[in-house]
């Protein structure tokens, strides 16, 4: 049966490290897992990843012993249900701006009577009902184990952060620096004092409510050093992202082009 070990680690207060991916290449997930990362965040909001590809990616992640979070493209029941049925440990819900948004996100992940998620028995999250598991047991394990991560990426969300974090079932939040900087009217200015103050405000509220925060380290640690990351961990950044696989491939290509290829052509 599915273990939902990521939620256990979050509840134990551990600092967890992961990467994101937005290309449908299962082998990349095996590499991330074998390298020792705790989790991978699969982005289906800004990617071409199909449900079939997503299913294969989940298998590769599990094979390498790594947990998975899927960012769905909208706070919509069908998208959430399918992401969970293919076997993800949880979902990241974009644009959670109000208490009502957060409550809907939690409800979409929970099977009745706790929520509105539809039941499917022959799915990976239920081991395709082999061996057979009672509906009550599957419902209990899923409702207790699934993770809900609310993405905070607009001024409205920052203004309502306390109410969002008070919603039972919100396990963590993901900071969306790019969209947040756009919402603040300072696009891409991640060291702007206003941006830094906003991030600190969210971290402060989250820490008081004991809700872990997820973010890509390079957006909030300037520069990205062990010392700066330790400071952020003390502030509540307990789900650390170290870039994306596709971004790493891009950077290798650019570095090779700049440092070698253009000098030998």
pLDDT digits (tens, 9 = 90+) for 197-227: 999 999 999 999 999 999 999 999 999 999 9
Is 46 a known active-site residue? Answer: yes
pLDDT band at 84 (very low <50, low <70, confident <90, very high): very high
pLDDT of residue 216: 96
Query: Helix or strand or coil: residue 243?
Result: strand
Say how far apart CA 17 and CA 41 lie, in whole Å.
Answer: 11
Domain ranges within the chain, ordered by starting residue: 5-264
DSSP codes, 190-227: TT-HHHHHHHHHHHHHHHHTT--EEEEHHHHSSS--HH
DSSP codes, 115-132: S-PPP-SSSGGGGGGSS-
Residue 249 tokens, joined: 């491939």
Residue 108 CA to its chain's centroid (Å) = 16
pLDDT of residue 132: 77
Say how far apart CA 204 and CA 200 lie, in whole Å.
Answer: 6
Q: Can you give the pTM of this predicted structure? A: 0.95
**Per-residue pLDDT for 187 more than 80?**
yes
Contact predicate 150/99, CB 8 Å: no
What are residue 239's DSSP bridge partners? 16, 214
What are residue 19's DSSP bridge partners? 40
> Quick one: 5-264 is in which CATH superfamily?
Phosphoenolpyruvate-binding domains (3.20.20.60)
pLDDT of residue 261: 96
Q: Which of 64, 70, 59, 91 is nearest to 20 (CA)?
A: 70
- pLDDT, one tens digit per residue, over 43-77 is 999 999 999 999 999 999 999 999 999 999 999 99
pLDDT of residue 170: 98
Rounded to the nearest integer, the mean pLDDT of the chain is 95
pLDDT of residue 239: 98
Instruction: Please identify which of the residues 46, 140, 197, 230 carries the catalytic annotation.
Output: 46
């Amino acid at each position: 049966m599915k273990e939902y070990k990521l939620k256990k680690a979050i509840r134990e207060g551990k600092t967890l490290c992961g990467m994101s991916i937005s290309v449908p290449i299962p082998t990349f997930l095996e590499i991330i897992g074998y390298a020792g990362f705790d989790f991978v965040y699969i982005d289906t909001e800004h990617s071409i990843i199909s449900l079939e590809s997503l299913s294969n990616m989940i298998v590769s992640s599990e094979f390498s012993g790594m947990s998975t979070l899927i960012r769905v493209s909208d706070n919509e029941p069908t998208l959430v249900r399918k992401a969970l049925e293919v076997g993800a440990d949880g979902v990241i819900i974009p644009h959670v701006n109000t208490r009502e948004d957060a409550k809907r996100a939690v409800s979409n992940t929970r099977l009745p009577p706790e929520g509105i998620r539809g039941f499917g028995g022959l799915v990976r999250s239920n081991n395709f009902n082999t061996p057979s598991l009672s509906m009550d047991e599957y419902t209990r394990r899923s409702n207790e184990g699934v993770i809900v991560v609310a993405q905070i990426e607009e001024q409205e969300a920052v203004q309502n952060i306390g109410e969002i974090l008070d919603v039972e079932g919100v396990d963590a939040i993901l900071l969306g620096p790019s969209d947040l900087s756009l919402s603040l009217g300072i696009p891409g200015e991640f060291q702007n004092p206003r941006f830094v103050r906003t991030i600190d405000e969210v971290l402060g509220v989250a820490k008081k409510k004991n809700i872990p925060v997820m973010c890509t380290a390079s957006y909030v640690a300037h520069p990205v050093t062990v010392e700066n990351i330790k400071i952020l961990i003390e502030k509540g950044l307990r789900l650390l992202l170290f870039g994306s696989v596709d971004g790493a491939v891009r950077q290798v290509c650019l570095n090779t082009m700049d440092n070698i290829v253009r000098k030998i052509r």
